[in-house]
């Protein structure tokens, strides 16, 4: 499985479902890496603070209970020989998780996706989406009912010569391959291609001219995709490779549904000038259309929009 050296798993000890923690422990054990398990005590709303005179004491009791549950989980994992640290954070969930990731220079955060029960921001929930948008390291959101990944999809973009994009493509391919091998499943690498303003061109071009132009576009996309695959001892003729036509978000979402994909591995690169976001528009649209686990990989150069100085100053309050 892909090498992660400092993974963090986020759980909610209010519930008694710790499958995500055990899955994270397996990842840490496989990578011979230490594991950090965190839970978050959210700030009480102003109405609770106003009506509950001893709200600070209640907050301390909740913290103590969560600490004890995390330590109980850690004991089981340590028996596997995995080094485990536990920590209870306080404040806005996504913000405090990201601050902890920045403080510890972690390279992966694992969390359960809200799934079909999510009441906000779609399948992954508001915290999951914020992690994908703002977290500088890899984000792995796992569906509540499935921590085994038998059908993994790697989504690459080979349409440009951008070096950062090329590095991400390599990581995506290797991650999807290693995860599927670890779980004894299969992986497929896809590239979505399309004709820009297709419908407008169809209306304004002779059919023969349009078909020739579309075929040329497909041939060039196939040539670039195949060149990438051959670097990884694969090819477009392989059962592991597939070109799909259409806009990336729609084409991938359709493929995920049709092929019953368990995990999508893809890169997330923000467009220049989008303040506070580390995820691009295409990736964001894709996230909103799929209903399976996702591993979002990011370039190493990203700077977290939540400042490290804030994280360090806030740590004194924890």
Q: 54-112, pLDDT tens digit by residue?
A: 878 888 999 999 999 999 999 999 999 999 999 999 999 999 999 999 999 999 999 99
Q: 238-284, pLDDT tens digit by residue?
A: 999 999 999 999 999 999 999 999 999 999 865 443 444 446 678 88
* Closest among 79, 293, 83 to 179, alpha carbons compared: 293
Distance CA 178, CA 172 (A): 10
User: Given a cut of 80, is residue 52 above it in pLDDT?
Assistant: no
Region of 52 on the Ramachandran plot (φ > 0 left; ψ -120 to 50 alpha; else beta): beta
Q: Which string of DSSP letters, residue by residue, matches 71-124?
A: HHHHHHHHTTT--EEEEEEESSHHHHHHHHHHHHT-SEEEEE--GGG--SSGGG
Domains and CATH numbers, the chain: 91-317 (3.40.50.12370)
Are 267 and 302 spatial neighbours (Cβ–Cβ below 8 Å)?
no
Q: 111-133, pLDDT tens digit by residue?
A: 998 765 555 556 788 899 889 88
Q: What is residue 3's predicted lDDT score, i.e. its pLDDT?
A: 78
DSSP-derived 3-state class of residue 229: helix
Are 269 and 165 spatial neighbours (Cβ–Cβ below 8 Å)?
yes
Distance CA 317, CA 314 (A): 6
Q: What is residue 1's predicted lDDT score, i.e. its pLDDT?
A: 59
User: Given a cut of 70, is residue 180 above it in pLDDT?
Assistant: yes
pTM: 0.87
Average pLDDT score, the chain:
87
**315 — pLDDT class (breaks 50, 70, 90):** very low
């Amino acid at each position: 499985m892909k090498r992660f050296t400092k993974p963090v798993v986020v759980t909610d000890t209010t519930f008694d479902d710790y499958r995500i923690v055990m899955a994270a422990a397996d990842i840490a054990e496989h990578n011979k890496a230490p594991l950090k398990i965190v839970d978050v005590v959210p700030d009480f709303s102003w109405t609770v603070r106003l009506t509950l005179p001893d709200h600070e004491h209640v907050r301390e009791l909740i913290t103590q209970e969560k600490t004890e549950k995390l330590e109980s989980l850690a004991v089981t994992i340590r028996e596997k020989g995995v080094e485990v640290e536990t920590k209870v954070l306080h404040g806005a969930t996504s913000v405090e998780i990201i601050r902890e990731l920045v403080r510890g220079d972690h390279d992966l955060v694992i969390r359960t996706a809200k799934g079909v029960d999510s009441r906000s921001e779609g399948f992954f929930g508001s915290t999951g989406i914020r992690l994908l948008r703002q977290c500088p390291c890899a984000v792995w959101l796992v569906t509540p009912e499935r921590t085994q990944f038998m059908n993994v999809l790697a989504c690459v973009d080979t349409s440009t010569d951008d070096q950062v994009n090329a590095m991400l493509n390599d990581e995506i391919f290797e991650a999807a391959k290693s995860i599927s091998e670890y779980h004894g499943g299969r992986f497929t690498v896809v590239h979505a291609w399309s004709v820009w303003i297709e419908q407008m061109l169809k209306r304004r071009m002779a059919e023969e001219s349009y078909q020739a132009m579309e075929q040329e576009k497909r041939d060039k996309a196939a040539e670039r995709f195949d060149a990438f695959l051959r670097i990884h001892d694969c090819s477009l003729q392989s059962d592991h490779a597939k070109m799909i036509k259409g806009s990336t978000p729609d084409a991938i979402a359709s493929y995920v549904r049709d092929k019953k994909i368990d995990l999508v591995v893809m890169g997330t690169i923000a467009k220049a000038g989008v303040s506070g976001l580390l995820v691009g528009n295409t990736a964001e649209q894709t996230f909103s259309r799929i209903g399976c686990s996702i591993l979002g990989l990011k370039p190493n150069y990203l700077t977290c929009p939540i400042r490290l100085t804030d994280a360090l100053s806030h740590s004194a309050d924890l």
